[in-house]
Each structure stands twice: as structure tokens, then as C-alpha cells.
Amino acid sequence: MQPPPANGRTSPAATVDLQLAHQGSFPVPEQQQFELWIDAVLRAHQITAAELTIRTVDSDESQTLNRDYRGKDKPTNVLSFPFESDMPLPVRLLGDLVICVPLMQQEAIEQGKKPLDHWAHLVVHGTLHLLGYDHIDDSEADRMERLEVELLAQFDIADPYTKEPIQSHE
């Protein structure tokens, strides 16, 4: 489930600050897995090194952030907060991803997806947002979705936008 490192590189291109702030016994992928998913996105954009934060949260924190920053008073599966600065920095800071773990788990069940596959999709989707992708209009959405499908295929993850449940790869 891991694509080979680009150009023989063994260290990840992504440095991830993983903040586990959710409650409950929901399983969370290992940091290395997050780095592999993000590395796939970075390689596709010829980015050799970048840093970002992934924060896992409960529904209440997701709803507060979604309300305060997007004007939508409900939890959402992933929020992306791109880092912006005019100051030159020694490392490329992408920003923050906030993933609502209970909602992510609920969606995986409702959509018939393996939780790990849904984690991968949300991380890839959110990282693309950090790089400036959006899905406000149909052409942008189509472009972003095609790229997500292509990146996830590297991990043998089926198209997350299909309406049929994804079959197990086991």
C-alpha cells in the first residue's frame, strides 16, 4: 500500500506535526502513513520538502472552527488552513489540516469504505487544498477530483467519488 520513494529518496518529503486532540477509541493511522499520503501529493507537485500540522478533533471543535472560519455551523470532515507569509522561511510551511474523527468514521461506515482509505482521501484532499486547489466551480472540482483519484490509486484505493461501496483489497 506504499508507492516507492521518488528518486530513491528514503526520507519523507513531508514533516508532519500530528496532534491527537479527539476523544474515544477511534483508531488513527501511524504518522508514517500520513507522511506517505502527503508525500504522494508533494511528489505530484515536485515539492521536495514541506511541513504541515494534522490535528484530529471531535465534532464540537470541528463545528466551532467551521462556524468561525467558514460560516457553517456544523462539523465537517476536514478543514484546511493554508499557511501564508511574506517572510522567507527555511522550510515550506503548508498549513494545518483539522480532521473530525467521529465524522470521518461515520462517513466511512455510511459510504461502505475502509476507514484507512477514507483517512487517506481526507488527507490527500486537505493537502491539495493547502496547495491552492479548490472545488468551488465544476471545472475546479473535476480537476481536483481527478487528481485525488490518481493519487489514491497509488495506494490501491478505489475512486472515493464512486457511489458503489469499495470492495476489500484483502
Q: Give the strand pairing for 14-20 and 78-82.
A: unpaired
3-state secondary structure of 84: coil
The answer, yes or no, to whether residue 5 has pLDDT greater than 90, is no
Q: DSSP 3-state assignment of 112?
A: coil
Residues of each annotated binding site for Zn(2+)? 125, 129, 135
Ramachandran area for residue 72 (φ above 0: left; ψ -120 to 50: alpha; else beta): beta
pLDDT, average across residues 73-88: 92
| Backbone phi and psi for residue 92, each to the nearest 5 degrees, phi listed first | -85, 115
pLDDT band at 16 (very low <50, low <70, confident <90, very high): very high
pTM, rounded to two decimals: 0.88
Q: Which residues are annotated as a binding site?
A: 125, 129, 135
How much of the chain, in percent, has pLDDT values that exceed 70? 89
Cα 98 from Cα 125, distance rounded (Å)? 12
